Chains A and B, each alone.
Chain A
Amino acid sequence: MSASTMAGSPNRAETRAIKRSPYPGWFFTPAAIIYSVLFLVPTFASLYFSLTRWTLFDSEFIGLENFAQFLREPFLIKGLINTVIYAAVTSGLKVVVGLLLAVMLTSQIVGRGYLRSVIFFPVLVSTVGVGITFTVLMHPTQGMINETLALFGIAGPGWLTDPNLALYSVALVDVWKGVGLATVIYIAGLVAIPQDYYEAARIDGATPWQNFWYVTLPLCRPATSTVITLSFIGGLRTFDLIWAMTKGGPGFASDTIASVIYKQYQAGFYGLSTAGNVVLFILIALLVVPLTMFLNRKQGHE
């Protein structure tokens, strides 16, 4: 933002003094131009275009009709609810599993290096690749998961074909892929807890469970809030994994807002698709802002 160098445009001497600043405001310019043109302008434009019927060449103002449609069509509402469920399930599981894995990995356990690598590696692998692999593994009759379950005499469910289960199956794969990141964030948080606390707890004769519940858990709250915020936003915005695994199906059973946005875009309903974007934006603002405020407030009381 070069504006800071021009601000006010006072007399010459002062302008030159500002220009000579060793930390010039024009250092912001390249980043500011790219970010404003390609991110801010479309974001503000979306507020207008979500109120139109739009063909990219011309747009007709129709007021809140797109949003009304979003709340009228059952499959669009379904997408809205699914998005929240997906975000809640994935972030909840990542917190629980991530914390347990981190506690395990910071204890005196053999093979820590191996465990850490193995758990973290999926974070770096292509989401679509993971999605396709698990689609094959989760096939109801020929998939490896159900074939293995059959060996134990368990009839595995139709992971991705059962409308009541599909969304949760995709969420499970999301956790599989993302829990490594939650784990390393928790490890960083756990390592930062001073040993004195555990020492004091030991003198007081705390059991390992009390150690965990009254020392570890409260003191790694910053890590918890990071993991929740991060995976909750990620979950609300998720698209690639759903698209690779179910394409929102069966029917609309696992549609999320992001997949609805893509489907409406493909179908040429640009106004409706953009309204979907605005809905997603509002949803994130409505859920994440109070969530982070809540998490940080709790932290302040410690």
Chain B
Amino acid sequence: MKKRTSILGGAAAIAATFVVFVIPFIFIILMAFKDRQQSALRDFSLPTGFHFWENVVEVVKTRNWMMITAFINSSIITVVSVTLLVIFAAMVGYVLARRKTRWNGLIEFLVLAGLMVPPAVVPTIWLLQGLQLFGTLHGMILIEVAYNLPFSIILYRAFVATIPRDLDEAAIIDGARPLDVFFRIVLPLLWPVTVTNIVVQSVGIFNDFTNPLYYLPGNANATVQLTLYNFQSQFSTAYNLLFTNILLITIPPLLVFMFFNRQIVAGMTAGAVKG
């Protein structure tokens, strides 16, 4: 009896979540397969022909191959800023967890403030202009690092606390220098939380729309999220291209989801204070 109700309940839940969560994605895919005329109807119907490949080619070629530029820019920003985040945040988390000084309170306060306080947009632009970093990939990378450091530090600090001190102390007694201890002994031990950090932060930075909108203006610097925003006005009627674009930029997070599902969930629930 119990079993039967759970199967019935499961079937109902599967049906309900299918309607609410899956149909919107099917709609995106169907739209991406349609031609311009059919997509203008914006209804939930099977495509009359297979136009996916044409749509992809057209989206990619639009505005002088802007999509390619955008994918390259987004990849550079994501890879470099996540690399810096991992190293710098691990260094802070490591020392913060290992050494108790009177600075710890201040640093912890700053980390929490970083999660809560909204960035002051125009003063940041003013500062970036002063540093000649406004509208450059370097500037964008440093912004992403600055804004996402607190979350990474929290993840690392919590994890370092679970690693026995004996491991690094043994190396220190053997005369290893702090940098060697960190890079050769501690950082490899932090690998599980590093994977979590990489996955969660890459998805976040790749999907970031607001910060590139403010700090990285101009078509040459477009990131993938901004191509969507540009396409929206340009193809106000070409829904097939708009949805092909949405589908294309959903592929990287989908791949990450398929391979790192567990790490993402672990990271987001462990450091569940991200603002």
Contacts and interface: CB of A to CB of B under 8 A. Distances in A.
Interface of A: 1, 3-4, 21-25, 27-28, 30-31, 34-35, 37-43, 45-46, 49, 54, 56, 104, 107-111, 114-115, 117-130, 132-134, 136-137, 139, 142-144, 147, 176, 181, 184-185, 187-188, 226, 229-230, 233-234, 237, 239-240, 243-244, 258, 261-262, 265, 270, 273-274, 277-278, 280-281, 284-285, 288
Contact of A38 (B143, B168, B246, B275): B143
Interface residues of B, number: 94
Contacts of B11: 110
Contact of A39 (B147, B169, B203, B257): B147
A35 B27 contact: no
A111 B275 contact: no
Contacts of B101: 4, 25
Contacts of A243: 209
Contacts of B103: 1, 3-4, 25, 28
B246 A126 contact: yes
- Most A CB atoms within 10 A — which of B207, B229, B273? B207
A188 B267 CA distance: 11
Contacts, number: 250
Contact of B121 (A35, A117, A185, A277): A277
A134 B23 CA distance: 11
- Most B CB atoms within 10 A — which of A22, A132, A133? A22
11 contacts: A25-B101, A38-B142, A39-B114, A43-B120, A56-B126, A108-B6, A109-B9, A109-B10, A119-B21, A139-B42, A230-B274
Nearest to A108: B6
B253 interface: yes
A27 B92 contact: yes
A299 to B, nearest CB: 15
B218 interface: no
Contact of B91 (A27, A39, A261): A27
Given A34-B145, A110-B11, A42 B127 contact: yes
A187 B253 CA distance: 22
A144 B42 contact: yes
A144 B250 CA distance: 21
A129 B124 contact: no
Contacts of A262: 121, 213-214
Contact of A284 (B98, B118, B153, B207): B118
Contact of B13 (A21, A34, A111, A274): A111
B14 to A, nearest CB: 5
B239 A110 contact: no
A135 B172 CA distance: 59
Interface of B: 2, 6-7, 9-11, 13-14, 17-18, 20-22, 24, 27-28, 41-44, 84, 87-89, 91-92, 94-95, 98-99, 101, 103, 107, 110, 114-129, 131, 142-143, 145-147, 149, 153, 168-169, 172, 178, 181-182, 203, 207, 209-210, 213-214, 224-225, 228-229, 232, 239, 242-243, 246, 249-250, 253-254, 256-257, 261, 264-265, 268-269, 272-275
Contacts of B41: 142
B92 A49 contact: no
Contact of A31 (B91, B125, B126, B272): B91
Contact of B6 (A1, A110, A124): A110
B146 A45 contact: no
Q: Which 7 residue pairs of A and B lie closest in terms of their CB atoms, listed nearest first?
A: A110-B10, A46-B120, A38-B146, A42-B123, A45-B123, A233-B275, A23-B99
A193 B24 CA distance: 35
A53 B250 CA distance: 42
Contacts of A144: 27, 42-44
